[in-house]
Amino acid sequence: MLHPVGPLPAAVYWRRRLLVLALLLALLGGGGWLGVALLTGSDDEAAAAEATAASTPAGAPALDRVVPSLASVQTPTPPPTSAPAPAPAAPAPPEQEAGAVCRDDVLTLEVRTPGTVPAGSRPTLELVVTNTATVPCTRVLDKGLQEMVLLDAAGNRLWGSNDCFPEASSDTRTLAPGEQVAFPLVWGGLTSEPTCTAERVPVAPGQYVLRARLDTKTSPDAPLQIT
């Protein structure tokens, strides 16, 4: 190989060998370049495919194509609720006519007591009538229309001012606005009942209330303690 033999000069054979060697080197270099190019191109295509896949929005799930979104579903609007109507106000009582009969609603009754009295004593009680109207009015204040009763804690009636000593009188008065009229009454401290036939005994110590009446008008209860 290193010492070719032939009819031609040795330089010719060396040039041929160098040419073949150059061709081989060229082939080898071109093949390597082609392989590198192929590998690089594959990597670039893969990267481009990945970028394209990343930039492309994912398709909607199959369920979204079948079931509409909640935003597209219209729910019925409930009818507006109206505020409850205010309760009708109680009608105001008619105004008291000046000089006419005093109505019950313009009169107040009050029982005044000493508060505490000894058992068996004779306390003085008072029935007070007041005209609360802004005009004068008239009212019959006869003794027969007045009554005071004593009640225990259970509401049992123990005494009444008209049971044994009813009184009669003719007393019609014109009451000025704000005027008060007091009617004193002495109670003997004994029990009684409307027929006044039962035995009368001293009321035992305890807590009681007194209630008064003027015809159809009734007073609030007033406490009375008997010791």
Give me the residue spans of the domains in the chain.
Answer: 10-50, 104-226
Residue 112 has pLDDT above 80, yes or no: yes
Mean pLDDT for 77-98 is 73
Q: pLDDT tier at 36 (50, 70, 90 boundaries)?
A: low
pLDDT value of residue 19: 79
Mean pLDDT for 20-44 is 66
Q: Please, which residues have CB within 8 angstroms of residue 168's CB and are 6 or more apart in sequence?
A: 142, 143, 144
Cβ atoms of 127 and 146 within 8 Å: the answer is: yes
Residue with token string 């009608």:
91
Residue 34 has pLDDT above 90, yes or no: no
Whether the CA torsion 108, 109, 114, 117 is positive or negative: it is negative
pLDDT value of residue 32: 64
Residue 7 has pLDDT above 90, yes or no: no
Residue type for position 210? L
Q: Please, which residues have CB within 8 angstroms of residue 178's CB and are 6 or more apart in sequence?
A: 130, 131, 132
pLDDT value of residue 15: 75
Residue 106 has pLDDT above 80, yes or no: yes
pLDDT value of residue 55: 53
Residue 154 has pLDDT above 60, yes or no: yes
Mean residue pLDDT across the chain: 82
Residue 8 has pLDDT above 80, yes or no: no
Tell me how far CA of residue 182 lies from CA of 51, 150, 224, in angstroms.
109, 19, 19
Does domain 104-226 correspond to CATH entry 3.40.50.40? no
Residue 4 has pLDDT above 80, yes or no: no
Comparing 6-10, 38-42, 183-187, 197-201, which segment has the lowest mean pLDDT? 38-42
pTM across the whole model = 0.58
